[in-house]
Amino acid sequence: MRLAGPLRVVVIILTAGLTWILVSLLLGTQSGFSRLQQLLSSPENPPTAVSGWGSSAVPLQASAAPSGRAGARSRHNKPRPRRYKCGLPQPCPEQHLAFRLVSGAANVIGPKICLEDKMLMSSVKNNVGRGLNVALVNGVNGELIDARFFDMWAGDVNELLKFIRTLHEGTLVFVASYDDPATKMNEETRRIFSELGSSVAKELGFRDSWVFVGAKGVQDKSPFEQHTKNSKNTNKYEGWPEALEMEGCIPQRKADGQ
């Protein structure tokens, strides 16, 4: 009889607790159950998020990471370095033409020739090919005269010679190699490119990488030239050296030829 009082109290507490849980479930919330679970959880086993938030339960005390969209937005809001014509990091002085040349990568990625923010030759324009990719430009106004590619592996070198033999004084010549630029080159071809300002045309070899800007009537060697030899010891790609990229500013020629 002495236990009747305490048992009655225990029964009342359990009844009240069960009633509380049932009411919470009927109302569509789990706040009561969650609180009861927190009270019954031991410090060694911290409560986890309610199931339905994902297959992996995350401790409730852990801070949530920023969402993917928020993270992407913050990255996109970062100021990007300003780029100028043809992607140059700095603008060219007045009366200068901005350019960027990229040679082909192995026999997979075609070359690019950009002048004054205009793509003269590229794979996207579908006017590049194996061998030498050559763009002729008016040195006074920067207008494109013609752009063609010449296969130096299986093509006819005479086609290239016809293209570069009779250039007008002051014509700018942009050249970007792709795959093989030199197998069909003969002595006359190498001499003409040397007269246009090239320092390496005479030694250009099979599958070398080469980018060059010259001009008809130059007195000195061109400062705009890069060359990498095809060598199995240094090649970046299997059988080909790395692609070359060159950018700069070319002074425009005056209309009177000075």
- Domain contains 19: no
**Overall domain count for the chain:** 1
Residue 181 domain-assigned (yes or no): yes
Q: Give the predicted TM-score (pTM) of the model.
A: 0.68
State how far the Cα of 175 lies from the Cα of 192, in Å rounded to an integer. 13
Domain for residue 159, yes or no?
yes
The neighbouring-strand residues paired with 105 are 109
Other Cβ atoms within 10 Å of 37 Cβ, number: 13
> For residue 74, what pLDDT band results from cuts at 50, 70 and 90?
very low
- 52-61 tens-digit pLDDT: 323 322 222 2
Write down the pLDDT at residue 2: 52
Q: What average pLDDT does the chain have?
A: 80
Q: Is residue 33 part of a domain?
A: no
51 has a pLDDT exceeding 50: no
- Separation CA 182–CA 168 (nearest Å): 25
215: containing domain: 85-251
Closest alpha carbon to 204 in 189, 221, 220, 224: 189
148 domain-assigned: yes
- DSSP annotation of 135 reads E
Position 132 scores a pLDDT of: 98
Residue 118 lies in a domain: yes
Residue 68 lies in a domain: no
Residue 121 lies in a domain: yes
